[in-house]
Chains A and B, each alone.
Chain A
Amino acid sequence: QKEVEQNSGPLSVPEGAIASLNCTYSDRGSQSFFWYRQYSGKSPELIMSIYSNGDKEDGRFTAQLNKASQYVSLLIRDSQPSDSATYLCAVSTASKLTFGTGTRLQVTL
């Protein structure tokens, strides 16, 4: 079992719709959770962090964490073509940050 798992996609959503990206992790001791966005040919950039159960909203982005289910998600409301990228889930456990392989999101016109 991979430490951090994501569906590779591509996840295709029409412009204006809600994109839902999911991530599961294996280590119950994990304490911090992050979403990075990586445009094609570019390096990853941090867009969201979440540390406790529940929802955290930042603009069009909402991160959701459920530690009991070992599940993290990222919702993107009003998806725009500029949101088309690969989204990497990252989990911090004992000072080590582990990335999932990412979900490719395509926002269509």
Chain B
Amino acid sequence: KAGVTQTPRYLIKTRGQQVTLSCSPISGHRSVSWYQQTPGQGLQFLFEYFSETQRNKGNFPGRFSGRQFSNSRSEMNVSTLELGDSALYLCASSWDSNTGELFFGEGSRLTVL
């Protein structure tokens, strides 16, 4: 079956712009989690959605937001981009993130200039 699909795979933005990333989970999975990965900080949890509701949120500023649609597809948005937002953004889906068994997409690599 198809895996987790993230789009776009690569993007370049300038400071102050905003960006929207998309994630299509594995069919049947209702939980979508978002992570930011950087060389220095590793995988940092952004938020998790389950059945269109944000169930958990990490320690990121309000510029980072997300949502989930009725078909479980999820989007995350970063507004007023800063240089430090340059990172790989990973989406992970699961039946229920409480199990800890996450299936990751290939990620969206964001570069902020």
**A28 close to B (CB within 8 Å):** no
**A45 close to B (CB within 8 Å):** yes
List residues of chain B with CB within 8 A of the CB of A62: none
List residues of chain B with CB within 8 A of the CB of A88: 42-43
For residues 83 through 99 of chain A, which have their beta carbon under 8 Å from a beta carbon of chain B?
88, 90, 92, 95-99
Beyond A43-B106, A43-B107, A95-B56, whether A101 also contacts B100 by CB under 8 A is no
List residues of chain A with CB within 8 A of the CB of B104: 43-45
Q: In the bound complex, what is the Cα–Cα distance between A4 and B103 (angstroms)?
A: 20
Beyond A42-B106, A43-B106, whether A90 also contacts B100 by CB under 8 A is yes
Q: Is the CB of A95 within 8 A of B55?
A: yes
Q: Is the CB of B102 within 8 A of A97?
A: yes
Interface bin, chain A: 20 to 34
Number of interface residues, chain B, beta carbon within 8 A: 20
Smallest Cβ distance from A100 to chain B, in angstroms?
Answer: 7
**A17 close to B (CB within 8 Å):** no
Interface string of B79-102 (1 = CB under 8 A from A): 000000000001000000111111
Q: Is the CB of B105 within 8 A of A92?
A: no
Beyond A43-B107, A96-B56, whether A34 also contacts B101 by CB under 8 A is yes
Beyond A92-B98, A96-B56, whether A102 also contacts B107 by CB under 8 A is no
List residues of chain A with CB within 8 A of the CB of B107: 43
Contact surface of A with B, Cβ cutoff 8 Å: 32-34, 42-46, 49, 88, 90, 92, 95-102
Pick 9 A–B contacts, CB within 8 A, sort by A: A43-B106, A44-B90, A45-B104, A88-B43, A92-B98, A95-B55, A95-B97, A95-B98, A100-B42
